A = this chain, B = another copy of it.
């Protein structure tokens, strides 16, 4: 072996990376042919395509993500910005489950999820701008939809493919997926009415979120329709507000016989207040939560809750997001119509899990029941 120093092309020195050039050399073709072959595009004969793929496999070639992106290919990444403190996110069962569902579908399609935690809505919009400028994501998932949400306009202006989680309405020209909160409210109120309740209170979360508004409206309307006494008590965010609001409605001249809470966390805080006031659940006051979780299932008694499986919600969002991205990509190449990017909203139908906190006949739980409930989550 002669030391062929001057002949040897010197790379950066690490020299391990296999590139399409290596494959091309071995196959006796040009790197363009390799590109066509590995991307399943026409332009090479089946025989050479086979040979090229074989060599690529042999050499354990991996496409350079950066190079592909630089050449204009999709970056296979979905972005999600969260404008909430880590502690708040961490305390929410919803977040982890939603992310897990997103991840599952995105991972299977070889997409990755890029998340970022920011301090404010301005910082969130700024992140969208930068991501767009850097071409860092193919699409973004927008969560925590509000009324008059400034993020919608910003994304529209940018022309960034995006999916809104929330609705209906208020998502501008962007597509959306959302849980039908009107239907959820109907399920709850009708369930309570069937059990004979006529005075129902709703302890409501932050009014700035769209779904809260939705619930407020439907709750009021259904009360009128069914001839029930429906009162609403605003509690703002979190457990402390819910505890206060619960105490408040208990002091009403004619206290409710059922209370509906906007989240599992709130329902638990409310239930604790009932316990401390020695009001039995459900005999004294029935309790319902808009959010199901291990918290509601594990409570004593287990709490009747809207089941919308956050994991499933995440899967639905990811699936729709990928459609939107595909449609946007298709529109760029083929100049066809764009069915996927339209402002179509997709609805997820909620269900009501009836438990002992409203139905006395479902009395005692055994450990086995509980275990089964948790496993089935």
A276 touches B100 (CB 8 A): no
Size class of the A contact interface (CB-based, 8 Å) = 35 or more
- SS class of chain A's interface: helix, strand, loop or mixed? helix
Q: Which residues in window 112-145 of A have CB below 8 A to B?
A: 112-118, 130, 133-136
Report A278 CB to chain B, min CB distance, Å.
Answer: 10
A268 contacts which chain B residues (CB < 8 A)? Answer: 294, 298, 370, 374
- A366 interface residue, CB < 8 Å from B? yes
A377 touches B107 (CB 8 A): no
- A311 interface residue, CB < 8 Å from B? yes
B371 touches A239 (CB 8 A): yes
A242 contacts which chain B residues (CB < 8 A)? Answer: 371
Report A279 CB to chain B, min CB distance, Å.
Answer: 11
* Count of this chain's copies in the oligomeric assembly: 2
B96 touches A97 (CB 8 A): yes
A112 contacts which chain B residues (CB < 8 A)? Answer: 114-116
Q: Mark A217-252, 1 if CB is under 8 A from B, else 0.
A: 000000000000000000000111011001100000
A100 touches B86 (CB 8 A): yes
Residue of B nearest to A103 (CB): B117
A98 contacts which chain B residues (CB < 8 A)? Answer: 90
Interchain CA distance A75-B114 in the complex, whole Å? 13
B367 touches A64 (CB 8 A): no
A90 contacts which chain B residues (CB < 8 A)? Answer: 96-98, 100-101, 310-311, 314, 377
Report A76 CB to chain B, min CB distance, Å.
Answer: 10
B367 touches A243 (CB 8 A): yes
A372 partner, pick from B69, B99, B134, B240, beta carbons under 8 A: B240
A205 contacts which chain B residues (CB < 8 A)? Answer: none
- A91 interface residue, CB < 8 Å from B? yes
B136 touches A65 (CB 8 A): yes
Interchain CA distance A114-B77 in the complex, whole Å? 9
Interchain CA distance A270-B96 in the complex, whole Å? 24
- Residues of A whose CB lies within 8 Å of any CB of B are 12, 17-18, 60, 62-70, 72, 75, 77, 82, 85-87, 89-93, 95-101, 103-104, 107, 112-118, 130, 133-136, 238-240, 242-243, 246-247, 265, 268-270, 272-276, 294-295, 298-300, 310-311, 314-315, 364-372, 374-375, 377
